[in-house]
Structure 1
Amino acid sequence: MIEQLAALPTYETYKDSGVEWLGEIPAHWKVVPLKYSLSLNSEKISSRNSTLKYYGMENIESWSGRFIETESEVEGLANKFSENDILFGKLRPYLAKVALATCEGICSTEFLVYRAKKQSANFFKYLLLSTDFINLVDASTYGSKMPRANADFIGIQRLPIPNLPEQTAIAAFLDRKTAQIDQAVAIKEQQIALLKERKQILIQNAVTRGLDPSIPMRDSGVEWIGEVPAHWELLANRALFRERIEQGEEGLPLLSVSIHTAVSSEEISDEENIRGRIKIEDKTKYNLVQPGDIVFNMMRAWQGAIGAVAVKGMVSPAYIIATPSPKIASSYFEYQYRCPEFIQQMDRNSKGITDFRKRLYWNEFKQLMSVVPPIEEQTTIVTHIETQSAKIDQAIAIQQQQIDKLKEYKATLINSAVTGKIKVPELVESQDTA
């Protein structure tokens, strides 16, 4: 599926394009400002009660142009587009939100709508999606928080233009090759999803059923927990934890809690250490945490923002700190509390009408039920989880590296084809049969 780029044919002769980012191009290609090949369609209509398909920025997948179905709604004006128009996301252009419209519709005004003038719209989609062009546009943006590209700047950019038959051949080649690459990426992403599911099942079984499948089980008496080993306890958290409220100490790192990676072990970055536009310098109201504490974000515990502390530090007053009793290995309980059933328990016990206002307070946390094996067994389970998880994580990392290489190859292939650095096989074959 993937040829070495160096093995692909090139054109017979090249010339200097006169454009720094383009370098040399095939001798018979032209270099023309974008606005001479694509017209900017500025037609706007009211989106209210429109029956036309709507494209928001969130509906376009970065670097592929695929449509992602969402419940996007828009009120007010929207840009109108026709089939085969090119949508170019001017907001944060580094996201590479570029798509070829497959039907008539309306889109966010954050898109520029281009229409090809007797050119191959599909070829220009790839040209505008190339990393070299995206980087060029991204370097020109204005606005720090919401950087946008300027349509006038884009319009004067000089682009490499082959003749129409070549444009069609290049686009057909890229359609075929990128579809193959995307399929390979999708397969590897499915494999990663299965590995993550396997890891979650491993953890869930270990923290609720133990490691010995032959051990006698008993009904826990709690429907969502089901059976547990007969010698394990089921206790309310008030018997396992006490709330820690201690002022932090100068010089300690400020830690955060993530729904993805639990509690950080290093000082949060300057970028994260921002609320609005004010950097947090005064940490006197932040609370002390010690290794082994269980910390959770009151607003996001029901999403999995909970974990065990590994280093002495400080956390936001928006976090609850639960110090464990001696019968607890906190790393075991981090694994337990990040299982779906236990996250759902936290969700059910959180206070608030909407997700935005939902909070899990200390009084509710201490009423939650936890499965408690003997301390020695907790430690053994943690070791088992860490050992097996490391193997799964390594397999995931290998798949991710392969995905990254495929995406890098795809980007290089598009760049090379639309700038004439390679001659696509479709053109070679057509010349051989001429």
Structure 2
Amino acid sequence: MIDGLRPYPEMKPSGLPWLGEVPAHWDVLRAKRLLKATEIPVRPDDEIVTCFRDGQVTLRKNRRSNGFMIALLEQGYQGVRTGQLVVHSMDAFAGAIGISDSDGKCTPEYIVCESRVDDAVLGYYSWVLRQAARTGYILASCPAVRERAPRLRYPDLGELRVPVPSSDEQRLIVRFLDWHGAQTAKMIRAKKRIVALLNEEKQAIIHRAVTRGLDPNVKLKPSGIPWLGDVPEGWEVTKLKHLTRFQNGLAFKPSDWSSSGTPIIRIQNLNGSDDFNFTIKSDLPDLLLIKKGDLMFAWSGNRGTSFGSFIWDRDFNGYLNQHIFKLTDYKVHGKYFYYLLQAVTKHVEDESHGIIGLVHITKPELGSVSVPVAPPDEQNAIATWIDGQTSALAAIIQRTTREIALIQEFRTRLIADVVTGKLDVRVLANALPEITDDRPVEEAGGDEDLDEQDATDAENEEVAA
């Protein structure tokens, strides 16, 4: 059905670089003409509503219950009601804008809006403002209270110029995007389930090989480690700190960054992202560089994805940031060691701590983890066997993950084209069936994929008074 979308027949300049041309019958007005801030009193039973970067606005307990900055005194809190537009004043530039699905209360750092005119559809303007955030328009309009901390107040929001279709057209756009979002979410969930199952199978192969070896008839002995169980008789059990040195990356400050230079390698880059927005010009020690083939361990990241061992597969060098250890001087076969670390990641995750849905482990904690170690003459054979057994699975995982990214990219582009008037959805939206699955789509990876450098700032909504 998407193939049936066509451009509007007549366009005109909007006068805004981020918006470009709009349909000839649309207006472009300041947001204060359409939206007004509310000051609803808090009721005794109101629970906290949170505005997330993926556009979901819901009771905090509906998303997660830990990892928030908790206010000691809820001074200045305001009421929020289902259907209102909520803008996170300190995170609007990153897309924390949406329609509340719940009644509750929120910090004064939120802008809670309702329609100033009868025919303004708040759902449409939440899409428009999120698109404005993606283009950098909101960031450019925000005064900053400190470095990398822009804050959008209602007067700033009110001055933003936004496209204004008719109210009927606004409703049709929202209907189309909600329907497409539900279909996209269903597709992404199915593909993520495939990736999860393939990863489980891959991890089972790795775990069996590095804890039992390749001989199914080998004699076993107790390892003395509850999570590990028995290991082959000829194997050693030792702590990771006796097998390698963990070299810390650096906590780079914004003042260290430059427009060109050596890339700063972040956890998202270990997962394959080509986003190297941060570079540094510095004569740092070579020990802090990683090059192709180097082994690393991300010690703070998302459970099951951004946490664990990685081999750098790029052809250029980069400096590690503070959330990654470089493993040096290890005393075992490199690829075998990589698989050994993968096998113990689940145990390390279970023993770790963290905030905002992340896992975190210190160097002493990681170094104290006991692992089984095969004799030197078996290590290469185990690594080679695992390579052969998991290569096909890895290829399918990589392909499916790329498909998910492409679906998300298409969704993001479609939203931009629809809310800014580049594609006409009116006829199609009128013919759409009712939406039966209202779970939100992770448009750009969602909150779970926040970059680790921004993770501690991801939820500023609970500001201590």
Q: TM-score, normalised by structure 2?
A: 0.66
2:54 is equivalent to residue 62 of structure 1:
yes
Match of residue 226 from structure 1: 229
AA partner of residue 181 (structure 1) = T
For 1:112, the aligned partner's letter is I
**Cα distance 1:344–1:244, how it changes in 2: closer, same or farther (>3 A)?**
closer
For 2:241 and 2:86, how far apart are their aligned partners in 1? Answer: 59
Amino acid at match of 2:54: S
| Aligned counterparts of 2:157 and 2:300: Cα–Cα separation in 1 | 43
Which sections of structure 2, spanning at least 5 residues, go unmatched?
A: 248-261, 353-358, 432-465
Distance 1:87 1:319, change over 3 A: closer
Q: Is the 8 A contact 1:293 1:323 kept in 2?
A: no
CA distance in 2, matches of 1:16, 1:288: 49
Map of 2:458 onto structure 1: none
Structure 2 counterpart SS, 1:215: coil
The residue number in structure 2 matching 1:396 is 397
Q: Could you tell me which amino acid in structure 2 is paired with residue 332 of structure 1?
A: Y
Match of 1:51 in 2: 45
In the alignment, which residue of structure 1 is the partner of 2:344?
Answer: 340
Q: Tell me the equivalent position of 2:14.
A: 17
Asked if 1 retains the 8 angstrom alpha-carbon contact of 2:32 and 2:158, the reply is yes
Change (3 A) 1:388 1:170: same
In structure 2, what residue type is equivalent to 1:164? S
Q: Alignment partner of 2:203: what SS?
A: helix
Seen in structure 2, the aligned counterparts of structure 1 residues 330 and 28 have a Cα distance that, compared at 3 Å, is closer
Letter paired with 1:35: K
Q: Tell me the alpha carbon deviations over residues 226-249 of structure 1, each in whole angstroms, 9 at most, x when there is no partner.
A: 23345x32344599659899xxxx
CA distance in 2 between partners of 1:257 and 1:23 (Å): 34
> For 2:210, which of 200, 207, 228 is the aligned residue?
207
The alpha carbon displacement at 1:402 in A equals 1.6
Structure ID, larger Rg? 1
Aligned residues between the structures: 387
Flag the 1:177–1:219 CA change in 2: closer, same or farther, 3 A: same
AA aligned opposite 2:30 = P
For residues 393 and 109 of structure 1, do their structure 2 counterparts lie closer, same or farther at Cα, with a shift above 3 Å needed? farther
Instruction: Report the counterpart of residue 251 of structure 2 in structure 1.
Output: none
1:387–1:154 Cα change, 3 Å = farther
Higher relative contact order (CA 8 A, sep 6+): 2
Asked if the contact 1:37/1:116 (under 8 Å) is kept, the reply is yes
Say if 2:130 is the partner of 1:98: no
Unaligned runs of 5+ in 1: 246-252, 263-268, 274-278, 349-354
In the aligned structure 2, how far is the partner of 1:37 from the partner of 1:145?
Answer: 29
Per-residue CA deviations over 1:28-76 (Å, capped at 9, x if unaligned) read: 322221111111225575x9xx53131235xx25256676233344342
Distance 2:148 2:329 in 1: 40
Aligned to 2:386: 385
Equivalent residue number for residue 451 of structure 2? none
Counterparts of 1:332 and 1:242, CA distance in 2: 13
Where does residue 5 of structure 2 map in the other structure? 8
Counterpart position of 2:407: 406
Q: Is this contact kept in 2: 1:294–1:323, CA < 8 A?
A: no
**Contact 2:5-2:428 within 8 A present in 1 as well:** no
Instruction: Sort the Cα spacing of 1:191 and 1:139 in 2 relative to 1 into closer, same or farther, 3 A.
Output: farther
Provide the C-alpha distance between the structure 2 equivalents of 1:229 and 1:166, rounded to a whole number of angstroms: 69
Equivalents in 1 of 2:133, 2:401: separation in Å?
24
Which secondary structure does the structure 1 equivalent of 2:197 belong to? helix
Deviations 1:65-99 (A, max 9, x none): 67623334434233321221111223243421122
Cα deviation for residue 207 of structure 1 reads 0.2
Q: Relative to 1, partners in 2 of residues 1:335 and 1:133: Cα closer, same or farther, differing over 3 Å?
A: closer
CA contact 2:53–2:91 (8 Å) conserved in 1: no
Which amino acid letter does the alignment assign opposite residue 19 of structure 1? L
Distance in structure 1 (CA, Å) of the matches to 2:422 and 2:395: 36
Task: Write the deviation string for residues 204-254 of structure 1: whole angstroms up to 9, x where unpaired.
Answer: 111012234x32342425343223345x32344599659899xxxxxxx99
How far did 1:320 drift? 10
State how far apart, in whole Å, the 1-side matches of 2:197 and 2:92 are: 33
Q: Which of 185, 192, 195 is 2:195 aligned to?
A: 192
Q: 1:131 to 1:229 in 2, by over 3 A?
A: farther
Q: Letter of the 2:103 partner, please give it.
A: E
Q: Deviations over 1:100-143 (max 9, x none)?
A: 11222122333221212322222222222225765311233333
Distance 1:3 1:342, change over 3 A: closer
Distance in 2, Cα, partners of 1:331 & 1:237: 18
Q: Distance in 1 between matches of 2:210 and 2:110?
A: 49
Partner of 1:265: none
Q: 1: CA distance between counterparts of 2:79 and 2:88?
A: 14
Q: Could you tell me whether the CA contact under 8 Å between 1:292 and 1:331 is conserved in 2?
A: no
State the match for 1:161 in structure 2.
164
Aligned CA distance change for structure 1 residues 175 and 69 (closer, same or farther; 3 Å) = same
Change (3 A) 1:296 1:153: closer
Distance 2:266 2:136 in 1: 34
SS in 1 for 2:148: coil
- Quick check: 95-104 or 189-198, which moved more? 189-198
